[in-house]
Amino acid sequence: MNICVIGTGYVGLVTGVCFASLGHTVTCVDINEERVDNINSGRPPIYEVGLEEMLKDVLEGGNLSATTDLKTAVQGSEISFICVGTPSGLLGDIDVRFIEQVGRDIGKFLTDDYHVIVMKSTVVPGTTEFSLIQLLESTSEKKAGRDFGVAMNPEFLREGTAIEDFLNPDRIVVGGIDERSTEAVAALYEEFDAPLMRTSPRTAEMIKYATNSFLATKISFINEIGNICKPLDIDSYEVARGLGLDSRISPSFLRSGLGFGGSCFPKDVKAIVGKAKEVYYHPVVLNAALELNETQPLRLIRLAESKIGSLNGKDVVVLGLSFKPGTDDMREAPSIRIISSLLKKGAVVHATDPQALDGAREILGEKVNYYDNAKDAIKHGDLVFIVTEWDDFKDEGLYKGKIVFDGRNIKEARVAKYYEGICW
């Protein structure tokens, strides 16, 4: 099938490259010319394991190209996936500016050929049926269901394992406005070995929010257990093991630590809380999950201060900046709160990350000293904070003779002269 993918970030580029690797002809569209040029030259604008090799393969095979020309891309394909960003709005809602722009533009370019527009971006329930369709109909002067199809197909990939997750999902959810739309999307996933659920668009939208809200709550839950374990001198990881062996619970997402970050969990939980308010519901559990997550990163600093006193004037080595290993994504990374607080307290920060140095510089600026690798960073101080659990930091040699405050439970760091875990 000829597929148009709009937005070439973590979701769009991975979607485009994966569909192209399955033999489809994909045109990726972005408004950012530099991104488009990089993609056409085989350089992915984001870091994701295996993406560069796969991108080069599909470019060589002629299955993928990138462009800023939405009109040609839409008119040359049968189906368009909207994968643009939906960042947090000012009031805890989502900012749908990019979605609205794309909806209006696609509408202008629809012809008499039947075309299906698929929302893959994460949007609050009702956005596809009420907002997107209205924009498409008003600019195309055509009727959804009769002249073109619309569906919502949420994406569940995780940064760091995005390609693996896209190609081997736990489930696929397709919420079409009618059977024709649903089946056009379902056909693309025919070869996938995963259950495919057919729902309404708003149910598909809600499944995405319910999933992320549940996972975020699970993280805040285990952090709460960890915060209770720490003063009782109980290892929260042993507790998590005992908990995860219960078949009703499952062992994943039970690693207590610095809390969740990234572009999805904080934004999505806030957005569904905002949506709940619109229907006069006050979500108690979700608000608590957010509240605990706000303060969790700073517990590492409080722990250090309680053990060694003021951090003013001290050299602090921070290992890890991205919100999790395997990605260069700095959005809502706990490192931002930790480093900002360290700087405020007068510490001299020496930070390293295998992938996120450029992104970190943009957010944290030049008050931080950056190093390309942990071996260089660690030379600049005896006090070490572990913030992201990259494999590069699983090296006993880094920690010998150091004072370590660990936010991620890196076993190798326990050889340090002095070691404290945040929740264990």
Which residues does the annotation mark as catalytic? Answer: 264
CB 97, min distance to ligand NAD, A = 8
Which of 38, 63, 121, 220: binder of ligand NAD (CB under 6 A)?
121
d(CA 302, CA 104): 49
Which of 81, 98, 390, 424: binder of ligand NAD (CB under 6 A)?
98
> Of the listed pieces 54-62, 153-161, 357-365, 394-402, which binds ligand NAD according to CB under 6 A?
153-161
CB 88, min distance to ligand NAD, A = 10
Between 83 and 311, CB nearer to ligand NAD: 83
Between 325 and 381, CB nearer to ligand NAD: 325
d(CA 380, CA 78): 56
Between 102 and 225, CB nearer to ligand NAD: 102
Work out whether 159 is an interface residue with ligand NAD (CB under 6 A).
yes
Q: Which residue has the tokens 């093991």?
A: 241
> Of the listed pieces 109-117, 155-163, 173-181, 358-366, which binds ligand NAD according to CB under 6 A?
155-163
Which residue in the shown chain puts its C-beta closest to ligand NAD? 9
Which of 27, 67, 77, 122: binder of ligand NAD (CB under 6 A)?
122
Work out whether 216 is an interface residue with ligand NAD (CB under 6 A).
no
Starting at the edge strand that comes first in sequence, how are the strands of the sheet with 172-176 ordered? 64-67, 25-29, 2-6, 79-82, 116-119, 149-152, 172-176, 196-199
CB 267, min distance to ligand NAD, A = 7
CB 410, min distance to ligand NAD, A = 24
Which of 3, 4, 5, 7: binder of ligand NAD (CB under 6 A)?
7
Give the number of other Cβ atoms within 10 Å of residue 109's Cβ: 17
Between 32 and 341, CB nearer to ligand NAD: 32
Residues in the interface with ligand NAD (CB under 6 A) total: 26
Q: Binding marks (x or -) toward ligand NAD, 36..65, rule CB under 6 A? A: ------------------------------
Work out whether 276 is an interface residue with ligand NAD (CB under 6 A).
no
Between 5 and 386, CB nearer to ligand NAD: 5
d(CA 57, CA 51): 10
Among positive and negative, which fits the CA dihedral 48, 53, 57, 62? positive
Q: Binding marks (x or -) toward ligand NAD, 316..355, rule CB under 6 A? A: ----------------------------------------
Q: What angle do CA 317, 323, 324 make, to 5 degrees?
A: 95
> Of the listed pieces 55-63, 97-105, 199-207, 225-233, which binds ligand NAD according to CB under 6 A?
97-105
Which of 20, 36, 110, 157: binder of ligand NAD (CB under 6 A)?
157
Between 230 and 324, CB nearer to ligand NAD: 324
Which of 3, 4, 5, 6: binder of ligand NAD (CB under 6 A)?
6
Structure tokens at 308: 């060694």
d(CA 363, CA 78): 40
d(CA 3, CA 202): 23
Structure tokens at 58: 């599909």
Which residues are near ligand NAD by CB under 6 A?
A: 6-12, 29-32, 35, 83-86, 98, 101-102, 121-122, 155, 157, 159, 263-264
